[in-house]
Chains A and B, each alone.
Chain A
Amino acid sequence: MSKKSADIVVIGGGVVGCATAFELARLGCKDIVLVERNTIASGSTGRCGAGVRQQFGTELNCVLARESVRIFEQMDEYLDYKPGVEFRQSGYLMLAYSDSQWEQFRRNVKLERSLDIDVEMLTPEGAREIVPFLNLEGMVGATFCQTDGHANPFHTAFAYAQAAKRLGAEVLTHTSVVDIEVENNRIKAVVTDKGRIETSAVVNCAGAYSAKIAAMAGIDLPVWGERHQILITEPVEAMMGPMVISFHHDFYCQQTPHGSFIMGIGMPGEPKSFNIHSSVDFLEGMAKTVMKILPPLGNLRVVRQWAGLYDRSPDAQPILGECPPVERFYNANGFSGHGFMVAPIVGRAMAELIMLGKPSVDISKLDAGRFERGELVLEPAVVG
């Protein structure tokens, strides 16, 4: 291990950690070490559904997603990444199956439009114009946002990591954090299995493992792992543009630019755990659900299934910002299944908070203290 000290240590080489390291470097911090226990994007980032949407039920989530989309739109140039992050704005089609859900969608759309996010409200027949083989049974309506889409999570994380390295950040993979030394609420060092790094600032981007990292600094952080599963099919010709989501079925499905269909459902009763083994139950539940909503997909073959962890927080919203009483211990975790899509703006906001004292997007409501204050930020629109 080369560096014995750093201005800032970023813990976690997922997309959030990589984006944070890059944005810190971009704002002039030259002495950054990013520590990742495995390889870049080996955890939740590399296991996620890859969707990027702006259709949310809280202003904060809408704004975080909208700002991230603006960065995704320019990302290949912004990060000078030749292979490209494969951002495609093929839309999100969100299906409603009850009057109360449709009412909620109506409120969401009103909010989204007030924030400059262009969302259409569609009849079931209107939804079928976008996805011709959609089963309309039981559907009340749908909303569609063309500027939503998806990107390649591996390339996005690699792009940020490479760009951060070019600006001088050191990226240590296969390196595990084993302790954080804190004295009088000041960080002294991050201890890894490869050596000790003296530092006064830590950004905790460890996903589902963030509570373990926080505990090393004596902080009780309410973040836990929750298994979610996905499968992917053989590639076929392009036949479906948007991500199709149904909260009623706890379901999402998207055709990737590669041609394969990627899909997931929430499994009821999933316990808190770090379990990332896939299950037969999921495969069966997934197959039944997708054939109900998108019947022709029954003709596709599953080539691979896998599992990953949501880094859940009590209100299914990220925890961002400094974490008193420990000075300069920053959290960027608890994303609860929508971390990839907001990572670009989260990385920027964290860097602005740390380097300039004030981020360009107000994230103050997402601090860890909100749980004690009882000021939860409840999001009505999440899968699982």
Chain B
Amino acid sequence: MTDRPERIDDDVIVCRCEDVTLGDIRRLIANGYHTIDEIKRISRAGMGQCQGRTCRHLIARELATALGVSVEEVEMPTFRPPTRPVLLSTIARGEGDE
């Protein structure tokens, strides 16, 4: 934490799956999108292959800074199944009991 730079550049990629930059996130927050869910819905950050494993924490930190709250106070979006991407053909072969 002590070595954290004052302000990370706007062009840093926050969501690698959907190619969303920190600048994009900052603009959305400035425009009144104040939850991770809203930011996800408008920018697709968190909707890609990894389902927000990296970006949701970065966005939470950015929101916390902008809104003057702690990261713990930023509401996390629902984690949606499946945990990892699964082939439809693999699912179709399943027999129902887990």
Q: Which residues of A contact B (CB under 8 A)?
A: 39-42, 46, 83, 154-155, 158, 233-234, 258, 278, 280-281, 283-284, 286-288, 290-291, 297-306
How far does the alpha carbon of A288 sit from the alpha carbon of B96 in the complex, in Å? 12
Residue ID in chain B nearest A291 by CB atoms = B92
- What's the minimum C-beta distance from B63 to chain A, rounded to whole angstroms? 13
Residues of A within 8 A of B48 (CB): 303
A300 near B88 with CB under 8 A, answer yes
* Selected contact of A303 from candidates B49, B78, B92, B94, CB within 8 Å: B49
Chain B, 46-98, CB within 8 A of any chain A CB: 47-49, 51, 78, 80-82, 85-89, 91-92, 94, 96, 98
Residues of A within 8 A of B86 (CB): 301-302
Q: Which residues of B contact A (CB under 8 A)?
A: 35, 37-38, 41-42, 44, 47-49, 51, 78, 80-82, 85-89, 91-92, 94, 96, 98
How far does the alpha carbon of A280 sit from the alpha carbon of B81 in the complex, in Å? 9
Residues of A within 8 A of B88 (CB): 233, 286-287, 290-291, 297-302
How far does the alpha carbon of A154 sit from the alpha carbon of B98 in the complex, in Å? 34
A305 near B82 with CB under 8 A, answer yes
Most interface-central of B41, B78, B82 (chain A CB within 10 A): B41
How far does the alpha carbon of A286 sit from the alpha carbon of B38 in the complex, in Å? 28
- What's the minimum C-beta distance from B25 to chain A, rounded to whole angstroms? 15
Residues of B within 8 A of A287 (CB): 88-89, 91-92, 94
If A39-B37, A39-B38 touch, whether A303 touches B89 (CB-CB below 8 Å) is no
Residues of A within 8 A of B89 (CB): 287, 291, 298-299
A298 near B92 with CB under 8 A, answer yes
B35 near A39 with CB under 8 A, answer yes
Residues of B within 8 A of A297 (CB): 88
If A290-B88, A297-B88, A298-B89 touch, whether A304 touches B51 (CB-CB below 8 Å) is yes
If A40-B38, A42-B37, A303-B49 touch, whether A284 touches B81 (CB-CB below 8 Å) is no
* Selected contact of A154 from candidates B42, B87, B91, CB within 8 Å: B42
- What's the minimum C-beta distance from B42 to chain A, rounded to whole angstroms? 6
A283 near B41 with CB under 8 A, answer no
B38 near A301 with CB under 8 A, answer no
Residue ID in chain B nearest A301 by CB atoms = B85
How far does the alpha carbon of A280 sit from the alpha carbon of B94 in the complex, in Å? 10
How far does the alpha carbon of A27 sit from the alpha carbon of B86 in the complex, in Å? 49
A83 near B85 with CB under 8 A, answer no
Most interface-central of B47, B78, B82, B91 (chain A CB within 10 A): B91
How far does the alpha carbon of A83 sit from the alpha carbon of B89 in the complex, in Å? 35
Extra 15 A-B pairs, beta carbons < 8 Å, given A234-B85, A283-B81: A42-B37, A154-B41, A158-B41, A158-B42, A258-B44, A280-B96, A284-B96, A286-B88, A291-B88, A300-B88, A302-B86, A303-B82, A304-B47, A305-B80, A306-B80
